[in-house]
Amino acid sequence: MELTIYLAGEIHSNWREEIKEKAKSLDLPLKFVGPMENHDRSDMIGEEILGEQPDKIFRDEAASSINNLRTQVLMQKSDIVVALFGKEYKQWNTAMDASAAVTLGKPLILVRPKELHHPLKELSRKANVTVENVDQVVKVLSYIFEDK
C-alpha cells in the first residue's frame, strides 16, 4: 500500500527535501506532491500563461487561479496532508489548504514552531496531530506502516 502525501506550506525553506530524504532512507512507500516551490515561477505563472495583466492585483489573481488548480488536483490525489507554518510569512494559503483537507475528510498533520501556538490554536485542534518539526512528521508517517 502506497500513500500519497501533499506537503502544503512555505516554499522558502527546504523542509520538503528533508522529509523526502528521511522517508526514502526508511524505505517508506510514500509519494510526495505539493505546490510549485520556485517562488518566482509561482508568482509569474499567471502572466506567463494568460498574458500581461492590468496591475499587480490582477497578476496575483491570475497566478493564484493556476496555483489553486494545481493544489486542488494534487490534494484530491492525496491520502494525507502535511501543513507547515514558519515564523516569517503570513501563509494564509497554508491555513486554507489545511482547512480544505480537514473539511474533505483528509487526515492533517500540522507542523509549527512552538511559539506559533497561539495564532494556530484553532487549526491545531482541527488537525489530527500537531508537531514541531519534520522529524516528527516522518515518525508519524512511518508509524502507519509499522506492524509490531
Question: What residues between 30 and 89 interact with a copy of itself by CB under 8 A?
Answer: 31, 33, 36-38, 41, 45, 48-50, 54-58, 60-61, 63-74, 76-77, 79-80, 85, 89
Q: Considering beta carbons, is residue 25 or 120 the nearer one to a copy of itself? A: 120
Residues 6+ apart with CB under 8 A from 117: 124
Task: Give the end-to-end CA distance of the chain in Å, rounded to a whole number.
Answer: 17
26 binds a copy of itself (CB under 8 A): no
Among 96, 111, 113, 134, binds a copy of itself (CB under 8 A): 96
Kindly state the helix (H) or strand (E) to which residue 64 belongs, with its residue range. Answer: helix 56-76
Tell me the closest approach of the beta carbon of residue 121 to a copy of itself, in angstroms.
Answer: 4
Nearest alpha-carbon partner for 3 in 54, 73, 64, 78 = 78
Among 21, 26, 113, 117, binds a copy of itself (CB under 8 A): 117
Nearest alpha-carbon partner for 69 in 109, 35, 107 = 35
Tell me the closest approach of the beta carbon of residue 134 to a copy of itself, in angstroms.
Answer: 12
Among 21, 29, 104, 113, binds a copy of itself (CB under 8 A): 104
